Chains A and B, each alone.
Chain A
Amino acid sequence: MIHQYKLNGYNIVLDVFSGSIHVVDDFAYDAIKIWDEEGKEKAAEILQSKYADNTEITEEDIKNIMSDIDELVKDKKLFTDDIFEVNAFDLKERHTEIKALCLHVAHTCNLSCSYCFAKQGNFCGEEAIMSAETAKAALDFLIKNSGERHNLEVDFFGGEPLLNWEVVKETVNYARSIEKQYNKNFRFTLTTNGVNIDDDVIEFSNKEMQNVVLSLDGRKEVHDRFRKTPAGKGSYDIIVPKFKKFVEKRGDRDYYMRGTFTAYNTDFLEDILHMADLGFTEISMEPVVTAPGQPEGLTEEDLPVLFEQYEKLALEMLKRKKENHPFTFYHYMIDLTGGPCIYKRISGCGAGTEYLAVTPWGDLYPCHQFVNDPEYKMGNIYDGITNTKARDEFKLCNSYARPECRDCWARLYCSGGCSANAYHATGSIKGVYEYGCRLFKKRIECAIMMKIAEMM
């Protein structure tokens, strides 16, 4: 299977199963398309006849193009067969140890953002704070179920985790006190709305957190539309100075400014550039995921605008890189030579198998987006996974599990997509959130084009 597209003056051909990428001229682009549709022999005839009167290309040129394509086929870089499908389900079975937990240390929040999937932090349930005992027991559970994995990830999440900051610190210190004896390396992430950031949070996080995710939606008016205090006041002016200080003191350590865009700011490029102009260089901006019919929800009519925004973003990033003031966009980071292996490309995020969310009470869910859905309660940190039906369903959830993905060129980039999005859009974790797919494919096309532009 191949995928061909034209972007920013480049003719790009992706060979899906080898992962190969080719940049070609117009004639080779056409030849590959016809070869794909009609087969080798017929393609040669069609091309000779089609270009017989074209002075820009000779018969010899066409023969050379066909010979080059032949060489790529022989080298298994074009029109390669899918050698992975037969093993797809075995591949997913291979590792079922748990390696990552999303610790919901606070099911409460000091902001009241109306678009919040966690319903202002309580996930449609009781407000609650995780005790240090529960958090430590969650780490014990992780170590016990992590097999030979060395790197273990824990994200302090909520609600707002800084509302339970002392427990966060105690949990990290506990992890550091036991990781050597179990030959583990804990990597912590803190996801915060920023309201309670102070010097202690900055100092501790910059020492202990491998990554911090800081929620900012962009321009003040955009941010303040949704991200309000319980009294209804926008939070932009409270948090931006704190984020600036946090990032400034962070040095080279990882962070992301993480925004959400909605139907109210389909010109989200302006919000990304606003963050870049504030001095933030690591940026992630996600499309809102809402129930159908919500005013902030993105619609079919928005898609052409969003596609254009993604293209303009790619061009602006190339320009700023050339001018020596680059910034990173999470979805345009793509490592073509050192990126994920086929196992990762097939198995994806690992929700419900390698990755679990833990509530303040120690209950386990497949990921943060399933929390408090009784059907998907997996068990708890004391008794382990007891809902084996749900676990087995997630075990088989990979890039080959969905019939809709069968003919999709992007399935080894998205690994089948987000199960939670699929569930909320279709009622099944094996469904497909088609809207998200279309945005995802556009982003991958842009990301690959940027790599090519940087190399050529």
Chain B
Amino acid sequence: MKRIKTIETRNMAKSLQNGGCGECQTSCQSACKTSCGVANQKCEKAEK
């Protein structure tokens, strides 16, 4: 596409099927302690 460039991102619909293992870090534990953002959390499931 000439005028639109799509950046590679995780497929959210697919993650509904293969996500939810819960092994990832609790978001508030890592550094902030006063906010709740999940965007910076790493997925820890070996096979996505």
Q: Chain A residue with minimal CB distance to B33?
A: A368
A258 at the binding interface (Cβ < 8 Å): yes
Q: Tell me if A414 and B38 are in contact (CB < 8 A).
A: yes
Residues of B within 8 A of A350 (CB): 26-27
Task: Name the distance in Å between B26's Cβ and chain A's nearest Cβ.
Answer: 4
Asked if A77 meets B6 with Cβ closer than 8 Å, knowing A19-B12, A149-B22, A330-B32, the reply is: yes
Q: Are A344 and B19 in contact (CB under 8 A)?
A: yes
- A residues less than 8 Å from B4 (CB atoms): 22-25, 28, 65, 68-69, 72
A331 to B35, CA, bound (A): 10
- Does A297 have its Cβ within 8 Å of any Cβ on chain B? no
Asked whether A289 is an interface residue with its Cβ less than 8 Å from the other chain, the reply is yes
If A28-B3, A99-B26, A355-B28 touch, whether A341 touches B43 (CB-CB below 8 Å) is: yes
B side interface size, CB within 8 A: 43
Measured between alpha carbons, how far is A456 from B16 in the docked complex, in Å? 30
CB-CB under 8 A from B33, the residues of chain A are: 191, 213, 258, 286, 368
**Number of residues on chain A facing chain B (CB within 8 A):** 93
Question: Are A335 and B42 in touch, CB under 8 angstroms?
Answer: yes
Report whether B8 and A348 are in contact in the complex, using a CB–CB cutoff of 8 Å.
Answer: no
A324-357 near B? 1/0 per residue, CB < 8 Å: 0000001111111111111111001111001100
* Residue in A87, A258, A354 whose CB lies within 8 Å of B22: A354
Chain A residues with CB below 8 A from B23, complex form: 149-151
Q: How far is the CB of B11 from chain A (nearest CB, A)?
A: 7
- Residues of the B chain whose Cβ atoms lie less than 8 Å from the Cβ of A418: 28, 34-36
Whether A286 lies near B35 (C-beta < 8 A) is yes
- A67 (CB) vs chain B CBs: closest residue: B1
Tell me, in angstroms, the Cα distance from A320 to B19 when the chains sit together. 35
Task: Determine whether the beta carbon of A289 is less than 8 Å from that of B34.
Answer: yes
Mark interface residues in B7-28 (1 if CB within 8 Å of A CB, else 0). 1111111011011101111111
Contacts of B48 in A (CB 8 A): 338, 341
Say yes or no for A452: interface residue by CB 8 A criterion: yes
- The contact string, 1 if C-beta is below 8 Å from chain B, for chain A 433-453, is 000100010011001000110
B39 near A286 (CB under 8 angstroms)?
A: no
A455 at the interface (CB under 8 A from B): yes
Q: Please determine whether B27 and A22 come into contact, CB atoms closer than 8 angstroms.
A: no
Given A331-B40, A334-B39, A355-B29, A76-B13 contact (CB < 8 Å): yes
Q: List B contacts of A142 (CB < 8 A).
A: none
A318 to chain B, nearest CB (A): 16
Q: Which of B13, B18, B44 has the most CB of A within 10 A?
A: B13
B residues in contact with A447, CB < 8 Å:
39-40
For residue A26, which residue of chain B has the nearest CB?
A: B3
Q: Is A372 part of the binding interface, using a Cβ–Cβ cutoff of 8 Å?
A: no
Select from chain B the residue with minimum beta-carbon distance to A456. B5
* Interchain residue pairs A-B with the least CB separation, the first 8: A341-B19, A341-B15, A343-B20, A100-B26, A333-B40, A284-B31, A256-B31, A418-B36
Which residues of A line the B interface, CB within 8 A?
17-25, 27-28, 61, 64-65, 68-69, 71-72, 76-77, 80, 83-84, 87, 91, 94-95, 97, 99-100, 102, 117, 149-151, 153, 155, 187, 189, 191, 211, 213, 256, 258, 260, 284, 286-287, 289, 330-345, 348-351, 354-355, 367-369, 412-421, 436, 440, 443-444, 447, 451-452, 455-456
Using A151-B44, A341-B12 as known contacts, list a sample of 7 further A-B pairs with CB atoms less than 8 Å apart, ordered by residue number in A.
A21-B9, A22-B4, A72-B4, A117-B34, A340-B39, A417-B36, A456-B5
User: Can you show 11 pairs from A to B with CB atoms below 8 A apart?
Assistant: A18-B11, A19-B12, A21-B7, A21-B9, A23-B7, A28-B4, A153-B26, A187-B25, A338-B10, A349-B28, A349-B38
